[in-house]
Amino acid sequence: MQFIQQMINGITIGAFYSLVALGYTMVYGVLKLINFAHGDLFMWGAYLGLTGLNVALGLLANDTPWVILPVIILVMITVALGGVLVDRVAYKPLRSAGRLAPVISALGVAFILQSLARNLYGASWRTYPHGITPSGGIVLAGGVRIGIMQIIVLVACFLLMGALYLFTQRTRLGTAMRAVSLDHDTSRLMGINVDRIIAVVFLIGPGLGGVAGMIVALYYGSFDFTLGWTFGLKAFIAAILGGIGNIPGAMLGGMMLGIIETLGSGYLSPQWKDVIAYAILIIILIFRPTGLLGERVAEKV
């Protein structure tokens, strides 16, 4: 029974990692750039959510959890636009400057976003308004407990990932995105406006990341400005684990990392969970350097 409880917790954390990992993997897919600023865009989702909730609750008389909904949508839009802005200012001018310059630029943006958050919100832990999230839960057979909040969070994450998956697999724009990930020039020859696809990726990835930031903050209740580095870096690792550039891979990698970490900390000790998780990661990468779902088909025959 403890196992099932651990799995449920692991899947929840895994869903967070997956949602953030998608942003890394989508940008890597179209630009072969590791967007180190993504973790901090995600963190900004948490801070903007905090401000949004405080403002909304200030306007309203009572503390209804429904206020989360409009705030999270606004956060998503704001962080998505922030993502496009980061690309325009820091990456687009470096498109033809090789692989290294944009990565350094990404690190620069990461530091800027992090410092901005620390300067504007302070270095201490911040807490979401009390009692805003629905409490209570369901106790299943054998004492396995699922919180209402956990259910909401899981449903939201899976709906978002399902929508993204359908978008990339079933729509014309989503297919074009996959085409651009494979080959810019050939995509242009199809009439695809590659710059526009890149902009769409910088809307969707950070948009999902912003939502994830707010969801993580709602779930844990408090956070600080290092959230982007700590949590974001793990999501990045999840993207690598799944095979960077591969969208289902990011989802799988996030889930695996979340579950392994949780089982490790539950059965052994929380202090050892990172050692275990990353030892497993290294072992997987030794046997599959391209990640679990990376390069399923040879690029060229």
Partner 1 sequence: MALLKIENLHTYYGHVHALKGVDLEVEEGEIVSLIGANGAGKTTTLRTISGLIRPVQGTITFDGQTISGVPAHQIVGKGVSQVPEGRQIFSTLTVTENLNMGAYTLGGDKEAIEQNRRRVYDLFPRLEERKNQLGGTLSGGEQQMLTIARALMAQPRLLMLDEPSLGLAPLLVKTIFETVREINAHGVTILLVEQNARAALKVAHRGYVLETGHVVLSGPARGLLQDERVRKAYLGEK
**Can you tell me which residue has the tokens 């995105």?**
177
97 binds partner 1, rule: CB under 8 A: no
Q: CA-to-CA distance for 177 and 146, rounded, in angstroms? A: 37
Q: Which of 85, 138, 140, 190 binds partner 1 (CB under 8 A)?
A: 190
Minimum CB separation from partner 1 for residue 237, in Å?
23
187 binds partner 1, rule: CB under 8 A: yes
Contact 80, 22 (CB under 8 A): no
Q: DSSP 3-state assignment of 137? A: strand
Minimum CB separation from partner 1 for residue 11, in Å?
27
Sequence-distant (6+) residues with CB within 8 A of 203 are 80, 81, 83, 84
299 binds partner 1, rule: CB under 8 A: yes
142 binds partner 1, rule: CB under 8 A: no
Q: Which of 61, 100, 141, 301 binds partner 1 (CB under 8 A)?
A: 301
Judged by CB under 8 A, the stretch of 18-26, 82-90, 173-181, 212-220 that binds partner 1 is 173-181
191 binds partner 1, rule: CB under 8 A: yes
Judged by CB under 8 A, the stretch of 130-138, 157-165, 189-197, 259-267 that binds partner 1 is 189-197
- At 128, list the tokens: 């979401």
Cα–Cα distances (Å) from 99 to 86, 93, 102, 180, 231, in that order, read 17, 13, 6, 17, 25
Q: Which of 61, 189, 282, 286 binds partner 1 (CB under 8 A)?
A: 189
H/E element holding 173? helix 172-182
300 binds partner 1, rule: CB under 8 A: yes
175 binds partner 1, rule: CB under 8 A: yes
98 binds partner 1, rule: CB under 8 A: no
Q: What torsion do the CA atoms of 109, 285, 30, 232 make, to the nearest 10 degrees?
A: -30
Site residues for partner 1, 193-212, by CB under 8 A, read 193-194
H/E element holding 112? helix 100-121
Minimum CB separation from partner 1 for residue 189, in Å?
5
Minimum CB separation from partner 1 for residue 217, in Å?
36
Q: Which is nearer to partner 1, 248 or 264 (CB)?
A: 248
Q: What is the DSSP string of 247-301?
A: HHHHHHHHHHHHHHHHHHHHHT-GGGHHHHHHHHHHHHHHH-TT-SSTTSS-S--
Q: Which of 182, 233, 279, 283 binds partner 1 (CB under 8 A)?
A: 182
Q: Which is nearer to partner 1, 118 or 178 (CB)?
A: 178
Q: Which of 188, 267, 270, 283 binds partner 1 (CB under 8 A)?
A: 188
298 binds partner 1, rule: CB under 8 A: yes
H/E element holding 45? helix 38-59
Q: Which is nearer to partner 1, 176 or 277 (CB)?
A: 176
Give the angle subtended at the CA of 198 by the CAs of 192 and 201, to the nearest 5°: 120
**Can you tell me which residue has the tokens 């912003």?**
210
Q: Which of 186, 222, 230, 269 binds partner 1 (CB under 8 A)?
A: 186
Binding site for partner 1 (CB under 8 A): 172, 175-176, 178-179, 182-183, 185-194, 296-301
